[in-house]
Amino acid sequence: MSQQRPALWAAEDEIEEDFQGVDMNLAIGNYGQNGMYDDVQSRIDEAALLAVQQQMAQQAAFAQIPDTVKRFIVHFHQAVLNNNLEEITVAYESGWTRLTEKFYAKTEWPEAEVIAPLVNDDPIFLILYRELYYRHVYSRLQPNIDDRFHSYENSCELFNYLLNSEGPVPLDLPEQWLWDIIDEFIYQFQSYCVWRSRVKNKSDEELAMLQEAAQASVNIENLIIINFSLDLCRLVDQALLSLVWSAYSVLNVLYSLIQKSKINEYIAAQQQGKTEEELAEIVGEYGSRPLYRMLGYFSIIGLLRVHTMLGDFTLALKVMEGVELNQKTPFTRVTACHVATYYYVGFCYIMLQRYPDAIRTFVSVLNFILRMRQYHTRSYQYDQINKTADRMYALFAICNALSPSRVDDNILNVVKERYGEQSAKMTRGEEGIPAFEELFIYACPKFISANPPPYEDPSLLPLHLNLTEPAQRHLSLFLSSVRSQLSVPTLRSFLKLYTSLDAKKLAGFVDADEEEMVQGMMAMKMGCRSVVGGGVGGQVGRGEGTLQAESGKGLLEGTLVSTSDLDFVIAENMVHIVESTVGRRYAGWFIRNTEHAQRVLDSVKNSRLPTPPQKAAPPGPAAPAEAAAKVGQKVTWGGVKVA
């Protein structure tokens, strides 16, 4: 029975007439019959009247909820109560999405208070329900200021429950959901920061609330900060509620989850090859529960993202110190997390001007996405993953323009297809700057300012009307580093034609002053050297590569290598040029075709032999074998052409 239920409501047709064994009256309890009406008769004070009105409104709202939805919520609640991961997953991944499409594409889900009777006012389930409720508001509708404040409160309650209950909580949630919780928490923070930084078009009510929040935060922040390093978890408490969406409170939550779950210790111990018992010993009662372990891991990725949004690219990579980026750890099971990780790491590398590392990062995950595509088209996150992938192709195009290198052909072909025009422009010196701008703004993460405009002092607000957006600031920093390499493509094209060349002659070619050109060549030479981490000079594996050569070394580590195939040196006024060539690569071709041949052979072996003609006396083992060989050969050659 329990196996069937999710399938039933998840199926296209619902069974309206049947509550599937759930007694709605029982589930609702004695709603509306708790003696309230007797009181109403005797003394109607304002509060009671309000309460009654509210209750009546809730009843009306309750009555409007379609039965399918009521059933869904009851089942969902049961699944959570039973810690039945499988059913929770179905409810979470398909049930919710399906009912959203059907009933709530343009409106909110029923409020938690309205559905509370269905779940016996279970506070934990209501927190989880609100988590989904607000996420839906943010993704489908326009959150108003109340939504923003309340979603923050709900997140605080959730984390408070997880971190400050007595001992680890007995809750199991699907990994995907856990990732979504962290991801959404940071998204809402970012969304709030962006909204808050726009002083224009705020209503009086909004201004008043923001002012109040700003004043409260001044009072409480000190308290928080003093305690910050003492006991992180205790802070995810009432005090935090007044600090709506401050950067401190968000970091506090993430660091608390990391500390509580001992995730860094877990990863280190795992890399040392400790046994399961030893691991459990090391990480303690919290860390040995999957819920906390995954939340801890996702919080590390969350920190990577928050620091990137705040423009702290070194710290972003530093928090990833312990994490080994490859596709074999169990943490990669949540594809959205995996893709986000590589996106932010790659972007940080760009801002650190480590383009080869950025390229390696993007190639690795883009190949992963290409290969996984067939499995993920069904996922409700497919769109999001595709969008991030498209951004990474754009970032890849930027990196490849700045540090041309031999890279994965698959990826390069997609880039040519999508960003061919911009790629061509980016090699044309000053003319190419708009192309860099366009791709950067399209593909960069959302940046935020750490601090709100001074809502507590309205006299200062007008000064904040025309501030540059954080993204523009990062763009101009990025362009300043691009500008120092602008002359490279032109110089390169001339250098490629010679083995030695007089500097004066070269200056004549590029129509520049000789001295300036020599300085440009120095800049070019310096630009061709880059810090590269991990497998230095190693070929970019087809997505299998680890981003770290040795474990225990952070993503910031690296060695200085030359990244250009064209090298030169100046002896006084003579430029000597050499070019490195890459021998033809055969391996990939042979590997692809061997794999293909294996598949063909398999299918040939598995297909039925044609029924031998009746009259032929001996079945003639030669004939089918020959046929098989023929088919095999034909298909193999066909495969070669395709490859």
Q: Which of residues 348-407 bind another protein (CB under 8 A)?
A: 351-353
**Options 167, 277, 586, 642; binder of another protein; rule CB under 8 A:** 586
**Please, which residues have CB within 8 angstroms of residue 532's CB and are 6 or more apart in sequence?**
354, 356, 357, 558, 559, 560, 561, 563
Residue 228 vs 382, nearer CB to another protein: 228
29 binds another protein (CB under 8 A): no
Q: Near another protein by CB under 8 A, which window of 65-73, 106-114, 457-465, 504-512?
A: 457-465
Residue 96 vs 436, nearer CB to another protein: 436
Q: How many residues does the chain have?
A: 643
Binding mask 49-68 for another protein (x = CB under 8 A): --------------------
497 binds another protein (CB under 8 A): no
Within 607-621, where are the H helices? none
554 binds another protein (CB under 8 A): yes
- Would you tell me how many other CB atoms lie within 10 Å of the CB of residue 146? 10
567 binds another protein (CB under 8 A): yes
570 binds another protein (CB under 8 A): yes
User: How far apart, in whole angstroms, are the C-alpha atoms of residue 406 and residue 395?
Assistant: 16
| Residue 629 beta carbon to another protein: minimum distance, rounded to whole angstroms | 18
User: How far apart, in whole angstroms, are the C-alpha atoms of residue 599 and residue 125?
Assistant: 49
User: How far apart, in whole angstroms, are the C-alpha atoms of residue 511 and residue 449?
Assistant: 43
Closest CA to 478 of 532, 399, 543: 399
> Are 87 and 2 in contact, with CB atoms under 8 Å apart?
yes
512 binds another protein (CB under 8 A): no
**Total site size for another protein, rule CB under 8 A:** 87
Residue 127 vs 310, nearer CB to another protein: 310
228 binds another protein (CB under 8 A): yes
> Are 240 and 142 in contact, with CB atoms under 8 Å apart?
no
Cα dihedral 240→242→246→251 (10° resolution): 0
SS3 203: coil
Which amino acid belongs to residue 344?
Y
Residue 251 vs 336, nearer CB to another protein: 251
CA atoms within 13 A on the CB side of 487: 19
What residues between 332 and 351 interact with another protein by CB under 8 A?
Answer: 351
> Are 452 and 403 in contact, with CB atoms under 8 Å apart?
no
Binding mask 587-606 for another protein (x = CB under 8 A): xx--x--xx--x---x----
What residues between 9 and 28 interact with another protein by CB under 8 A?
Answer: none
Q: Near another protein by CB under 8 A, which window of 158-166, 281-289, 462-470, 624-632?
A: 462-470
| Residue 330 beta carbon to another protein: minimum distance, rounded to whole angstroms | 18
Residue 377 vs 581, nearer CB to another protein: 581
**Options 75, 425, 474, 492; binder of another protein; rule CB under 8 A:** 474
What residues between 475 and 494 interact with another protein by CB under 8 A?
Answer: 477, 480-481, 483-484
What residues between 519 and 538 interact with another protein by CB under 8 A?
Answer: 519-523, 525-527, 529, 531, 533, 536, 538
**Options 311, 346, 404, 445; binder of another protein; rule CB under 8 A:** 311
Cα dihedral 478→482→483→489 (10° resolution): -170
Report in angstroms the alpha-carbon separations of 453 from 194, 207, 221, 479, 481. Answer: 11, 11, 16, 27, 30
Residue 40 vs 450, nearer CB to another protein: 450
> Are 267 and 323 in contact, with CB atoms under 8 Å apart?
yes
**Region for residue 44 given its phi and psi (left: phi exceeds 0; alpha: psi -120 to 50; beta: otherwise):** beta
